[in-house]
Structure formats: C-alpha cells, structure tokens
A and B are shown apart, each in its own frame.
Chain A
Amino acid sequence: AQKVTQAQTEISVVEKEDVTLDCVYETRDTTYYLFWYKQPPSGELVFLIRRNSFDEQNEISGRYSWNFQKSTSSFNFTITASQVVDSAVYFCALRISPSGSARQLTFGSGTQLTVLP
C-alpha cells in the first residue's frame, strides 16, 4: 500500500519569507508519480507539478521549487519570497503503476499555509 505524509498541518510565515512544505511518501513500486496541488480559499484544486520516479532533477518555476530525493522518499516544495496570494492548502499526492490500470491518487492530509502581510 502507498502512503503520503505531510507532517506540517499548518505553517504561518510573514510575507517575503521563504517556506518549505514537506512531503514524505511510501510505496513499494519502483515506478510512480508525485504531484503537488494547491487549494486556495476559493476551494478548487489546482495542479502545480508532476514528477516521475526516474527523474530526480529538481525543478524551479518562478518562486516555486521542488526537491525530489528518492533516498529519503521526499518531495518537498519551497516557495521563495512568499506572498499573501500563496495562502492556501497544499497537497502532495502519489500515483503508482502509471502503465497499469491503477490510476488513483493517494493524497496527503495537506498543509495549510498562511502568509501574513
């Protein structure tokens, strides 16, 4: 069985601070995908990034960056120079067997990020 753990339930930072959201996953599969989603106060779930298990390159997109480390089964998300608009719940998710029939996403419990002005 697979599992995603987001140990940080809530994080509060002041605008312009950097913040890292932790994600630890468990799976016995060697092929899998990891995702981050953002859920702003309006409620919709917005896809941010996908990473596959055989690509450990870190990724940067503007103020967002992701650090994938298979050795520690972690896929952490850093927001640089945070802004009030970054306030949201962030979910990490795992999907195994992309070539098979299983298509379910296993979600972590989410981290509520509050950025104070």
Chain B
Amino acid sequence: DAGVIQSPRHEVTEMGQEVTLRCKPISGHDYLFWYRQTMMRGLELLIYFNNNVPIDDSGMPEDRFSAKMPNASFSTLKIQPSEPRDSAVYFCASSFRQGPYEQYFGPGTRLTVT
C-alpha cells in the first residue's frame, strides 16, 4: 500500500513568492495533519483535518499560512508571501479515526526561502 505522498520533496523559492505544498493521505484515513520541523522549534503541529474539515488551526503561525482539504485524498498548505523564516521541513501525516491512533508521516517537503 502507498504511504502518505508529499510533493514537491524540495522547494527553493525567493522571499515574497507563493509556495504550495501538497499531500495525499493514506487511503481510508480520516485525519490529516500538517507539521513543521525546524532545529529551533522541533516538530510543531500546524493544523489538522477530520473528514476534510479543519479541526484545529491554532498552530498556524500567521495569516500568511493557509491549508485546505478539498477532498479525502488531497490537501494543500500554502504560504503567501513566503519569508526566509518559513524555511523548514513540512510533514504531512494521516491516521484512522478509530482503532490504531498512530499517525503515518509522509517523506516531508524541505522548503528553503532565500
């Protein structure tokens, strides 16, 4: 079975540009999570969805960040405009609503904003 798929794997962009990260969760999973990992702050939860509905976006750092989940198999995290401090690895994860609660992570997108 395919795991969580993220694209692109690497993104280099200039400050002020719009960045869109994409995620395809594991088929059948009800929950989708977006995390950011930096050396300074470790792993931080940005937002998560249940059945395509955002449940908690308190981790989204600023209004420049937005996330959508138009259907059960696709989610985007958008940064507009991007800033150098947004440079990080962004992970998407998914899990079932019932039964095992562990989250399965995608390979991550390494974002560099120059």
A residues adjacent to B (C-beta < 8 A): 33, 35, 37, 43-47, 50, 91, 95, 98, 101-105, 107, 109-110
Contacts of A109 in B (CB 8 A): 42
Which B-chain residue is minimally distant from A33 (CB atoms)?
A: B101
Contacts of B100 in A (CB 8 A): 50
User: In this assembly, does B102 line the interface, its C-beta being within 8 Å of a C-beta of chain A?
Assistant: yes
Determine the distance from Cα of A110 to Cα of B110 in the docked complex, in whole angstroms: 19
Total of A-B residue pairs, C-beta within 8 Å: 47
Contact at B43–A50, with CB atoms within 8 Å? no
Determine the distance from Cα of A102 to Cα of B43 in the docked complex, in whole angstroms: 17
Contact at B104–A47, with CB atoms within 8 Å? yes
Contact at B105–A103, with CB atoms within 8 Å? no
B residues adjacent to A (C-beta < 8 A): 31, 33, 42-43, 45, 48, 50, 55-56, 89, 91, 93, 95, 100-108, 110
Contact at A104–B101, with CB atoms within 8 Å? no
Determine the distance from Cα of A98 to Cα of B100 in the docked complex, in whole angstroms: 10
Contact at B31–A44, with CB atoms within 8 Å? no
Return the contact of A104 from the options B56, B91, B102 (Cβ within 8 A).
B56
Known A104-B48, A105-B103; judge A45-B55 contact (CB<8 A): no
Contact at A101–B108, with CB atoms within 8 Å? no
Contact at B103–A47, with CB atoms within 8 Å? yes
Chain B nearest CB from A35 CB (Å) reads: 6
Known A103-B55, A107-B42; judge A50-B108 contact (CB<8 A): no
Could you give 23 example pairs across A and B, Cβ below 8 Å? Answer: A35-B102, A37-B105, A43-B107, A43-B108, A43-B110, A44-B106, A45-B93, A45-B108, A47-B105, A50-B102, A91-B43, A95-B101, A98-B101, A101-B55, A103-B33, A103-B50, A103-B55, A103-B101, A104-B33, A104-B45, A105-B103, A109-B42, A110-B42
User: Chain B CB within 10 Å — which of A45, A47, A101, A107 has the most?
Assistant: A45
